[in-house]
Structure 1
Amino acid sequence: MKKENDFGNLYKKIDATSKTRFHSSRRLKLHTKLSTATIVVISLALILTSLMQAYELGVNIKSKYLALIQVFSSITVLVYSLLIDKNDFSSLSEKMYSCASKLGELKQKIYPYLESGTQEQYNKFKDEYHDILKLYETAAINDFRADYVRAQLDMPENYKFGHWKFLYLNIKVTLLYIINYFQYIGVFVLLSSMLYWLWLGPLAAK
Structure 2
Amino acid sequence: MRKLYKKMDATSKTRFHYSRRMKLHASLSTWMIVYISLVLILTSLLQAYGLGENIQSKYLPLIQVFSSVTVLVYSLIINNNDYSSLSEKMYSCASRINKLKMLADPHVDSNSLDKYEEVSGKYQAILDLYETASIQDFRADYWRAMLEMPEDYTLPPQTRMKINSKIWLIYTLNFIQYPLIVLVYGYIVVWLWRGVGV
- Shorter-chain TM-score bucket reads over 0.9
What SS does the aligned partner of 2:176 have?
A: helix
Aligned-pair CA distance for 1:138: 4.8
Match of 2:59 among 53, 62, 65: 65
Aligned sequence identity (%): 56
The equivalent residue for 2:39 is 45
Whole-Å separation in 2 of the counterparts to 1:146 and 1:139: 17
The equivalent residue for 2:86 is 92
Deviation digits for residues 14-48 of structure 1 (CA, Å, limit 9, x no counterpart): 00000000000000000000000000000000000
Which residue identity lines up with residue 102 of structure 1 in the other structure? R
- The gaps in structure 2 that reach 5 residues or longer are none
Matched, 1:25 2:19: yes
CA contact under 8 A between 2:190 and 2:196: conserved in structure 1?
A: no
Aligned-pair CA distance for 1:166: 0.7
The TM-score normalised by the length of structure 2 is: 0.96
Matched, 1:116 2:110: yes
Aligned-pair CA distance for 1:54: 1.1
What SS does the aligned partner of 1:44 have?
A: helix
Q: Aligned pair in 2 of structure 1 residues 162, 138: CA closer, same or farther (>3 Å)? A: closer
Whole-Å separation in 1 of the counterparts to 2:190 and 2:133: 41
Whole-Å separation in 2 of the counterparts to 1:202 and 1:105: 57
The equivalent residue for 1:184 is 178
What SS does the aligned partner of 1:75 have?
A: helix
Bigger mean CA deviation after superposition, 180-189 or 134-143: 134-143
What SS does the aligned partner of 1:42 have?
A: helix
Aligned-pair CA distance for 1:117: 4.3
What is the CA RMSD across the aligned residues, in angstroms? 1.3
Whole-Å separation in 2 of the counterparts to 1:105 and 1:39: 38
The equivalent residue for 2:150 is 156
Matched, 1:127 2:97: no
Deviation digits for residues 44-96 of structure 1 (CA, Å, limit 9, x no counterpart): 00000011111111111110000011011100000000111111000010000
Aligned-pair CA distance for 1:143: 3.2
Aligned-pair CA distance for 1:200: 1.6
Whole-Å separation in 2 of the counterparts to 1:45 and 1:139: 40
Whole-Å separation in 1 of the counterparts to 2:107 and 2:18: 29
Bigger mean CA deviation after superposition, 137-146 or 70-79: 137-146
The equivalent residue for 2:169 is 175
Aligned-pair CA distance for 1:116: 2.4
Which runs of at least 4 in structure 1 moved beyond 2 Å after TM superposition?
Answer: 201-204
Match of 1:101 among 70, 95, 108: 95
CA contact under 8 A between 1:149 and 1:173: conserved in structure 2?
A: yes
Which residue identity lines up with residue 184 of structure 1 in the other structure? Y
Whole-Å separation in 2 of the counterparts to 1:203 and 1:135: 55
- Corresponding residue pairs, total: 198
